[in-house]
Chain A
């Protein structure tokens, strides 16, 4: 029944061509088509529940490329999410994954945990940080946590100099709030420089996507409702996200999940209609952005990695980099390929993620660039984790690169 509502799989196999996990494993059981068949076999009682079934369902990046390319309109995303929840219920989850769901469900829990982790980061001896790894990434290759959550560090409202062109809501996501404050600062600088009043609504919290991937469907409800409450405002030109995954959540999952919870969906749909990723917003305001950028002098060579959720919910940001004059943009031949980050995927399946990330690094090196831009914080952590600290290549959010061009002094290296 459900399959008919959300599009029925015709087993054509076209999803195999776009599935990053299948590209590495080259096995049918690692494909979106197989997962749908397994879910149907399980739901019809032909296949009993098992820990291995859970494994096959979960060995997926949740990148959404299958759904985005499915001729039959199968909603892989929702069906995988429901099945993951069911499997987590029946077979449990790894302790650290359960912990993640628990922490993300409440902002104060997350703040406490980040605080403790930050203390840990500064106390851990160098040798320990070198030896211990998250997936294939050495601990010391992981980014340092923010000294203070970004949203505590900055005011709720930011006014541009001069005339106010409009009002934007900025949904910062957990990564900017707790890890990449520089991305947040850069985003604020860019948006106010364009003449917008920027509001970072208090009360925003985790978009809930990590919970939804790991069976926390009920735990996510309060987060979604809170976020909708604080983003549902009149007189707003757009809701800006710097993280494509949060953006996809606001655009697609919030209305879908509220419908599923039996809650009112109209406010979420209104938000969904206004949400846009930062680079798309800048691209739409190209004429206003170009005069603000100082691109005199020797330009740093930049390349780009397109995050899957940006590709599948919005538009990759390379169109902006191509359109800006004076930028030394060197596209990588595999810029659109998945990096293997996938939320917690790089940690749960280090071998598969390692193969994908290695191919990405090779592509970025071939491009000859020294600065590697990507919008997604997980892609950033995953890719930066494969580079040595003194590597010629470094990874940044495009906002940081562009905000530097706003200054009067041209920088050659971030």
Chain B
């Protein structure tokens, strides 16, 4: 509970209706999609940059932690207020300020839902490429904070590749702007990139200028099955190595395929050791040629079946399996962990082998799902957290997976972020000096550590 003066000061800024502190309300802002929870002292819904700046000034005066929140769909605990204090929920600061397809940008407030932006762009024949699994509800502010990715980021890149500029409220309450409406801009440091993936630890982003791109003219999709997981992984590196960059290249292993078949029965080949869903987009003729080469490559690598989607409906059916995966695993046991360790694409076969060995070693069933084209693995474990012995093995196996990824020149997270989930593993991929440099930046920008304390930095 905040002291009465602070409470009054905050309500003066934002009004009673957008200030919450009843226990029933606070309980709803203690979580995201990760496991850990922690209650805030108050939740505020700012709607203007001026309000955000005024709130931050009060928080700074009283050294109150400030944790930003969008839709709360982060899977790493980033918006969980582990040091309590204020949660600033941006869901009501959600105007699309400008869509300018002539100059290829859009300006949005942080609470704009990714799918709403897509809907605003579609009539102009444009889209915004990052497509996290939470696209229908997660906010652009959250996407920026976590540097979100998605299946089609293989070709198009992740959030940071689309942020041209932003407005930020600093810990001092000052409002600064980085970048511009220009796709080319080398004026000073590229500071907007620093805030992508910062998980709200450096400042509060209150406006974002995004690059948007024209929708491709054609899409071609193919589902390929292999009798050998190594062949599957080899096909991935062979296609990427040949210079073709598909939009998406999704890999599912036997366990994943069988879990999907058990649950929803989509007619996937149960005996297949590996399945690849590959999609290319662009100019029709180019798609045609790329698809022909992809089919040649997968056959060289031992594909046993190649199923092409001829219609939009068939494309949907091929994607259905991939889209069902999370739900299928979520129903197997009460808790599900989906990690996103990422390795160079040539190391995908080796990484998959290691994940399977780790599964055997710790006796946990690990489904392997991957945005394989960019080496972004999603090992999935469904387990019961209340079973202490099993849960300990689950955690150990994840530790081993991160270590294996690091050994192969990989990284902890491809798109989920560090948050609470992966902070302990940071030393695997960053040495002391590098981690100290993160701290140096944090201390310079937020000396009193009011922004999202308790996270990776």
Q: Which residues of A contact B (CB under 8 A)?
A: 3-4, 7-8, 10-14, 16-17, 26-29, 31, 34, 37-38, 41, 46-47, 50, 52-53, 56, 70-73
Task: Report if B398 contacts A (CB, 8 A).
Answer: no
Are B137's CB and A26's CB within 8 A?
Answer: no
Q: Which of A8, A28, A52, A53 is in CB contact (< 8 Å) with B29?
A: A28
Top 7 A-B pairs ranked by shortest CB distance? A71-B327, A8-B334, A17-B136, A17-B137, A13-B73, A34-B28, A72-B330
Chain B: minimal CB distance from A221 (Å): 30
Chain A: minimal CB distance from B238 (Å): 33
Q: Which of chain B's residues have a CB closer than 8 A to the CB of A72?
A: 327, 330-331
Task: Report if B32 contacts A (CB, 8 A).
Answer: yes
Q: Which of chain B's residues have a CB closer than 8 A to the CB of A13?
A: 32-33, 71-73, 134, 137-138
Chain B: minimal CB distance from A334 (Å): 12
Task: Report if B27 contacts A (CB, 8 A).
Answer: yes
Q: Which of chain B's residues have a CB closer than 8 A to the CB of A37?
A: 27-28, 31
How far apart sit A24 and B92, CA to CA, in the bound complex (Å)?
10
How far apart sit A228 and B425, CA to CA, in the bound complex (Å)?
59
Are A12's CB and B28's CB within 8 A?
Answer: no
For the complex with contacts A3-B334, A26-B92, A26-B111, 7 further pairs of A-B residues with Cβ separation under 8 Å are A7-B331, A12-B134, A17-B115, A28-B72, A47-B23, A72-B327, A72-B331
Q: Which of chain B's residues have a CB closer than 8 A to the CB of A38?
A: 24, 27-28
How far apart sit A10 and B384, CA to CA, in the bound complex (Å)?
12
Chain B interface extent, by class: 35 or more
Chain B: minimal CB distance from A323 (Å): 17
- Check A56/B71 contact, CB under 8 A, given A13-B134, A14-B136, A28-B89: no
Task: Report if B204 contacts A (CB, 8 A).
Answer: no
Q: Which of chain B's residues have a CB closer than 8 A to the CB of A27?
A: 20, 28, 45, 89, 91-92
Instruction: Name the residue on B nearest A7 (C-beta).
Output: B331
Chain A: minimal CB distance from B38 (Å): 13
How far apart sit A303 and B24, CA to CA, in the bound complex (Å)?
41
Chain B: minimal CB distance from A139 (Å): 30
Q: Which of chain B's residues have a CB closer than 8 A to the CB of A26?
A: 45, 91-92, 94, 111
How far apart sit A70 and B330, CA to CA, in the bound complex (Å)?
10
Instruction: Name the residue on A nearest B90 (C-beta).
Output: A26
Instruction: Name the residue on A nearest B386 (C-beta).
Output: A4
Instruction: Name the residue on A nearest B333 (C-beta).
Output: A8
How far apart sit A273 and B20, CA to CA, in the bound complex (Å)?
46
How far apart sit A70 and B335, CA to CA, in the bound complex (Å)?
14
**For B28, B33, B34, B138, which residue has the most chain A Cβ atoms within 10 angstroms?**
B28
Q: Which of chain B's residues have a CB closer than 8 A to the CB of A50?
A: 24
Instruction: Name the residue on A nearest B73 (C-beta).
Output: A13
In chain B, residues 5-52, which have Cβ atoms closer than 8 Å to a Cβ of chain A?
Answer: 20, 22-25, 27-29, 31-34, 45
- Check A11/B330 contact, CB under 8 A, given A17-B115, A26-B91: no
Instruction: Name the residue on A nearest B74 (C-beta).
Output: A13
Instruction: Name the residue on B nearest A55 (C-beta).
Output: B24
Q: Which of chain B's residues have a CB closer than 8 A to the CB of A3?
A: 334
Task: Report if B303 contacts A (CB, 8 A).
Answer: no
Q: Which of chain A's residues have a CB closer than 8 A to the CB of B94?
A: 26
Task: Report if B178 contacts A (CB, 8 A).
Answer: no
Q: Which of A11, A12, A53, A73 is in CB contact (< 8 Å) with B24?
A: A53
How far apart sit A28 and B136, CA to CA, in the bound complex (Å)?
15
Instruction: Name the residue on A nearest B324 (C-beta).
Output: A71
How far apart sit A13 and B132, CA to CA, in the bound complex (Å)?
13
Cβ proximity bits B240-253 to A, threshold 8 Å, 1 near / 0 not = 00000000000000
How far apart sit A14 and B136, CA to CA, in the bound complex (Å)?
8
Task: Report if B336 contacts A (CB, 8 A).
Answer: yes
Q: Which of chain B's residues have a CB closer than 8 A to the CB of A31?
A: 28
Chain A: minimal CB distance from B108 (Å): 15
How far apart sit A56 and B92, CA to CA, in the bound complex (Å)?
19
Instruction: Name the residue on B nearest A11 (C-beta).
Output: B33
How far apart sit A7 and B335, CA to CA, in the bound complex (Å)?
10
Instruction: Name the residue on B nearest A34 (C-beta).
Output: B28
Q: Which of chain A's residues have a CB closer than 8 A to the CB of B32?
A: 11, 13
**What are 17 A-B contacts defined by CB distance under 8 Å?**
A3-B334, A7-B331, A8-B335, A10-B33, A10-B330, A12-B33, A12-B75, A12-B326, A13-B72, A13-B138, A26-B91, A26-B94, A26-B111, A27-B89, A47-B23, A56-B25, A71-B327
Chain A: minimal CB distance from B88 (Å): 13
How far apart sit A73 and B333, CA to CA, in the bound complex (Å)?
11
How far apart sit A16 and B327, CA to CA, in the bound complex (Å)?
16
Cβ proximity bits B139-160 to A, threshold 8 Å, 1 near / 0 not = 0000000000000000000000
Are B25's CB and A29's CB within 8 A?
Answer: yes
Instruction: Name the residue on A nearest B25 (C-beta).
Output: A29
How far apart sit A28 and B29, CA to CA, in the bound complex (Å)?
7
Chain B: minimal CB distance from A148 (Å): 47
Q: Which of chain A's residues have a CB closer than 8 A to the CB of B34?
A: 11
How far apart sit A206 and B75, CA to CA, in the bound complex (Å)?
44
Are A52's CB and B24's CB within 8 A?
Answer: yes
Are B27's CB and A41's CB within 8 A?
Answer: yes
How far apart sit A8 and B384, CA to CA, in the bound complex (Å)?
10
How far apart sit A27 and B89, CA to CA, in the bound complex (Å)?
8
Q: Which of chain B's residues have a CB closer than 8 A to the CB of A41?
A: 27
Chain A: minimal CB distance from B416 (Å): 13
Q: Which of chain A's residues have a CB closer than 8 A to the CB of B75?
A: 12
Instruction: Name the residue on B nearest A35 (C-beta).
Output: B28
- Check A73/B72 contact, CB under 8 A, given A27-B45, A37-B27: no
How far apart sit A13 and B113, CA to CA, in the bound complex (Å)?
13
How far apart sit A3 and B385, CA to CA, in the bound complex (Å)?
13
Q: Which of chain A's residues have a CB closer than 8 A to the CB of B22?
A: 52
How far apart sit A27 and B33, CA to CA, in the bound complex (Å)?
16
How far apart sit A99 and B92, CA to CA, in the bound complex (Å)?
37
How far apart sit A270 and B22, CA to CA, in the bound complex (Å)?
47
Are B28's CB and A29's CB within 8 A?
Answer: yes
Chain A: minimal CB distance from B15 (Å): 14
Chain A: minimal CB distance from B338 (Å): 10
- Check A14/B134 contact, CB under 8 A, given A38-B28, A50-B24: yes
Q: Which of chain A's residues have a CB closer than 8 A to the CB of B28?
A: 27-29, 31, 34, 37-38
How far apart sit A34 and B91, CA to CA, in the bound complex (Å)?
15
Chain B: minimal CB distance from A332 (Å): 16
Are B27's CB and A47's CB within 8 A?
Answer: yes
Q: Which of chain A's residues have a CB closer than 8 A to the CB of B335?
A: 8, 10
Q: Which of chain A's residues have a CB closer than 8 A to the CB of B29?
A: 28
Are B72's CB and A29's CB within 8 A?
Answer: no
Cβ proximity bits B301-331 to A, threshold 8 Å, 1 near / 0 not = 0000000000000000000000000110011
Chain A: minimal CB distance from B220 (Å): 28
Are A71's CB and B330's CB within 8 A?
Answer: yes
Q: Which of chain A's residues have a CB closer than 8 A to the CB of B137?
A: 13-14, 16-17
Cβ proximity bits B59-84 to A, threshold 8 Å, 1 near / 0 not = 00000000000011101000000000
Q: Which of chain A's residues have a CB closer than 8 A to the CB of B111?
A: 26
In chain B, residues 349-378, which have Cβ atoms closer than 8 Å to a Cβ of chain A?
Answer: none
Chain B: minimal CB distance from A409 (Å): 40
Chain A: minimal CB distance from B114 (Å): 10
How far apart sit A370 and B136, CA to CA, in the bound complex (Å)?
32
- Check A4/B334 contact, CB under 8 A, given A26-B92, A27-B45: yes
Instruction: Name the residue on B nearest A16 (C-beta).
Output: B137
Chain B: minimal CB distance from A266 (Å): 26
Instruction: Name the residue on B nearest A10 (C-beta).
Output: B330
How far apart sit A72 and B134, CA to CA, in the bound complex (Å)?
15
Q: Which of chain A's residues have a CB closer than 8 A to the CB of B330?
A: 10, 12, 71-73
How far apart sit A352 and B22, CA to CA, in the bound complex (Å)?
21
